[in-house]
Structure 1
Amino acid sequence: MQIKVDRELCTGCQTCVSSCPYDSIVMSEDKALINEYCQLCRACLSVCPEGAIKEYKDSPAEIKQGDLTDYKGVLVFAEQREGHIAHVAFELLSAGRTLADKLSVPLSAALFGAGELAAAELIKWGADTVYLCDDASLTRFNDEPYSELLSKIIIEHRPEIVLAGATAVGRSFFPRVAARLHAGLTADCTSLEIEKGTRNLLAIRPAFGGNIMATILCPDTRPQMATVRPKVMKTSGYDTNRKGEIIKIDKPQKASRTKVVDVVKDDSLFNISLQDAEVIVSGGRGLGGAKGFEVLRELAGLLGGTLGASRAAVDEGWIQYGHQVGQTGKTVCPKIYIACGISGAVQHMVGMQSSDIIVAINKNPEAPIFNIANYGIVGDLYEVIPLAIKKIKGDKGI
C-alpha cells in the first residue's frame, strides 16, 4: 500500500504540508511530494481540496506482483571485495543449489564490479547463469547502483528466491531492493528450507535475543528474499568442469547521487579477518581488563590466528567492536576457537558454536561454554595461557 500525490491534480496550495505529523510531505517544482518518511497514517487524504492525494493498495505497475507462478528460480547476489569474490558467495551458492534442486529450477548469480574470471568461478561453484556487470566503477560498493542493478535483474528474470550475505554490504542495500519490489525480506538467517508441499521458503533465524529460533515465511509475495549469516552454510559442489552461461548487463544510466571517495580499512590488531580466520582466540569479561588481550594476542599470533571477543569485553571498551563474535557481532566458523574467560551466553554461542573444535578456559566449572566445548580447562586463564605459549614456543624452537 502506498500514498501518492497525483501531480496533474495538485495545484501546489500546500494545504497538505501542515497536515502531516511526520513532515513527509514536501514541495517539489511547486507540487506536493510524499517522501520515504511517510508512515501511512492517512491524515493527508481528507485535507486536499483537489483530491490529489490518493491511496494505492497495489504495487506500481512496473513491479506489480501478478501471478506468483510466474516466478521461477533461485538468485544469489555474489558479493566481491576489490575484485575478489567474498567467501559468503560460495556458501550461498551451495545453499542455493540445494534449494534450486528441491524446486527443480535453475540457480543464477548476480556479480557487480568483477570480471569474467570471477564469474566463471561462480559457475564452478554451482551457478547455471551469472548476470555480470563488470563496470570498474562498481568495484567499490555503492548502494544506489547496486540496488538499481539487482532490482532490474529481478524484475526481468523473476526469480522466486533471492539470497545475499548478511554482511555490511548485504545489510545495506538488500532492504532497499526488497522495499522497491514490495517483497518480503528475512534478515540474518542461519538456515533455509523449502516448506513441504509448497514452493515457500522457510527462512530460519534467531529471535528474542537468541532464545528461540523463528521460522519466517513470505507466502504472498515474490521474490522471497533473505540475507544469510556468513559461515553458517557449508560450501560444497565445486566442479572445475561445470559449464554455465555468463550474461553481461550494462550499468544503469540513472546518475547516482553519491560517489565513493575512499575506503578506510578497519585498524584491527591483526590483518586476518575474523570470518576468514582458521584459529580465533577470544576473550570475555573474565579477562578483567584490556591488558588481558595482550596475552591472548601473543597466543593468537603463535597459532597464526586472530583475536575475537564477547560483547561484554567490547562494551567495557577493552577491544574494538570489529572483534566481537556473537549475535550482535560476527558469526565465525574457524577450525579452532579458544574461548578464554567467556561464560557462554547464548548470544555469544550462536556466533561460534559451528566451529570445528572449541576449547574453553574458565574458572567456573558450571560455565555454559563447557556444554558446547570439545575440550574444557577449568582454571585461571592467566596461568593456563602462559603455559600454552611456553609449550608452543618450545615446540617451534623460539
Structure 2
Amino acid sequence: MAILVTAEHDNQTLKQSTLNTVAASTQLNDEIHVLVAGFNCQAVADQAAKITGVSKVLYADSSVYEHQLAENIAALITDLGNDYDYILAPATSNYKNILPRVAAKLDVTQLSDITAIVANDTFERPIYAGNAIATVKSLDPVKVITVRSSAFEEAAFSDTQNTEIIAVNALPETNLVAFVSEQVEQSDRPELSNANIIISGGRGLGSSENFALIEQLADQLGAAVGASRAAVDSGFVPNDKQVGQTGKIVAPQLYIAVGISGAIQHLAGMKDSKTIVAINKDEEAPIFSVADYGLVADLFEVIPELREKLP
C-alpha cells in the first residue's frame, strides 16, 4: 500500500500547494504516488515526475477532467482509492469540494486542513478559527486528508529524477453536472496563495476606488493583493481576494494589513505569516496583537508617503 497525492494544477502548471502536500506525505514514510488528472496536461505530469520523493505518477488525460469538476474527479480518486492507505490533497477550494465526496464514497471520515503529522495515524488540525489545535487519531483503513499548504515546506524538484509515468484510464462522465463557463482574471501580480509579499486592505479603505491605493502599492513591491471579508462583503474587491477562515489561508514572508481591524475570521487566514505589518488608526484594533510592526496612523496619509519613499 502507498500514499496517493492528488495534484492541483491548471492543465499547464503544477501548483505550489501540491509540493507542500508531497512534503507532508514524506513524513508518513511510505511510497508516494501523484495523480495528475486533466486534459492535455502532459506538461503537468512531467513536472510531477521530477518532484523529489515521488516514486510514481498516475496520469489520467481526458476531456472529462478538463475543468476539474468535482463529481468526475472524485469518481476517479475513489476508483483508485482502495489501493492506498492515504489519499492526500491540498486544502484548496477545489479539493475542499472534491475530497469530502471521496471520503463519503469510501465510507471513511475526512481529516481536514491538517497542519502537522504526529504519527502515521495521528494528525493536528486547527479548530475554533485557529485558536485551538485538535489532535486527531484515525482508525479508518483509508485516510482521506486535506493539507494546509502554509504549514509545510515545499518539496523540491530534481533534475536527475526520472519517475515512471503510468497512464490511467478515464472513467465515464458522471453527467451529474455540466461545465458552463469560467472567467479567469489575468494579472501580472503573483497568485495570492503563493506570493512572498501580500498587501491586504480592509473596510477602512471606504470604497473600491480607494482600494486602488493597495493595488498601486502592491505593484511597486511586486506583491499580491488581498482583502478582509468586510472589504469583500462591501464590494471593494472580488471574493477571490479574501484572506481568512472562509477565504484563502496564506503565510507569506511579509504580510501588510492596511485598514483591517483584525477580526478572528481574518487572523485565522494570515497569522502564520513570517512578518506582519499593520496600519490602522485605531490603536485598539485586534490586528496589532499579531503584528510584528504596528503603525497607528491614517492610511490615506501613510500609503502615499510610503509609495514616495519606495524605489
**TM-score, normalized by length of structure 1?**
0.71
- Tell whether the 8 Å contact from 1:279 to 1:304 is kept in structure 2 after alignment: yes
- If you compute each CA radius of gyration, which structure gives the higher value, 1 or 2? 1
Identity value in percent: 34
- Counterpart in the other structure of 1:171: 96
Cα deviation for residue 359 of structure 1 reads 1.7
Residues 1:142 and 1:370: Cα distance change in structure 2 (over 3 Å): same
Residues 1:386 and 1:312: Cα distance change in structure 2 (over 3 Å): same
Unpaired runs of 5+ residues, structure 2, are: none
Cα deviation for residue 298 of structure 1 reads 1.7
Q: Are residue 120 (structure 1) and residue 40 (structure 2) matched?
A: no
Q: How far apart, in 1, do the equivalents of 2:247 and 2:142 lie? A: 28
Superposed CA RMSD: 2.4
- Give the one of 6, 16, 29 matched to 1:87: 16
How far does the alpha carbon of each residue in 1:276-328 deviate from its partner, in whole angstroms, 9 at most, with x for none?
Answer: 33332111233344443122222112222232111222233333222111111
How far does the alpha carbon of each residue in 1:331-361 deviate from its partner, in whole angstroms, 9 at most, with x for none?
Answer: 1233321111223233322211232332211
Residues 1:208 and 1:137: Cα distance change in structure 2 (over 3 Å): same
Q: How far apart, in 2, do the equivalents of 1:131 and 1:317 lie? A: 42
- Tell whether the 8 Å contact from 2:195 to 2:224 is kept in structure 1 after alignment: yes
Q: How far apart, in 1, do the equivalents of 2:181 and 2:202 lie? A: 34
- Give the one of 198, 205, 211 matched to 2:125: 205
Residues 1:375 and 1:209: Cα distance change in structure 2 (over 3 Å): closer
Runs of 4+ in structure 1 deviating by more than 6 angstroms, as ranges, are none
- Counterpart in the other structure of 2:164: 245
Q: How far apart, in 2, do the equivalents of 1:286 and 1:373 lie? A: 17
Q: Which amino acid aligns with 2:50?
A: K
Residues 1:115 and 1:386: Cα distance change in structure 2 (over 3 Å): closer
Q: Which amino acid aligns with 1:326?
A: G
- Tell whether the 8 Å contact from 1:201 to 1:224 is kept in structure 2 after alignment: no
Q: How far apart, in 2, do the equivalents of 1:254 and 1:295 lie? A: 46
Between stretches 357-366 and 73-82, larger displacement belongs to: 357-366
- Counterpart in the other structure of 1:301: 219
Cα deviation for residue 235 of structure 1 reads 0.4
- Counterpart in the other structure of 1:193: 117
Q: Are residue 149 (structure 1) and residue 76 (structure 2) matched?
A: yes
How far does the alpha carbon of each residue in 1:106-155 deviate from its partner, in whole angstroms, 9 at most, with x for none?
Answer: 11111112544422322322211111112244232122321221111112
Cα deviation for residue 180 of structure 1 reads 0.7
- Give the one of 73, 90, 105 matched to 1:180: 105
- Counterpart in the other structure of 1:51: none
Cα deviation for residue 272 of structure 1 reads 4.2
Q: How far apart, in 2, do the equivalents of 1:268 and 1:188 lie? A: 28
Question: SS state of the match for residue 124, structure 1?
Answer: coil
Q: Are residue 214 (structure 1) and residue 131 (structure 2) matched?
A: no
Residues 1:171 and 1:180: Cα distance change in structure 2 (over 3 Å): same
Q: How far apart, in 2, do the equivalents of 1:116 and 1:270 lie? A: 25
Q: How far apart, in 1, do the equivalents of 2:299 and 2:173 lie? A: 57
- Counterpart in the other structure of 1:334: 252
- Counterpart in the other structure of 1:42: none
Q: How far apart, in 2, do the equivalents of 1:295 and 1:116 lie? A: 41
Cα deviation for residue 174 of structure 1 reads 1.2
Residues 1:147 and 1:358: Cα distance change in structure 2 (over 3 Å): same
Question: SS state of the match for residue 348, structure 1?
Answer: helix
Q: How far apart, in 2, do the equivalents of 1:270 and 1:245 lie? A: 35
Higher RCO by CA contacts (8 Å cutoff, separation 6 or greater) = 2
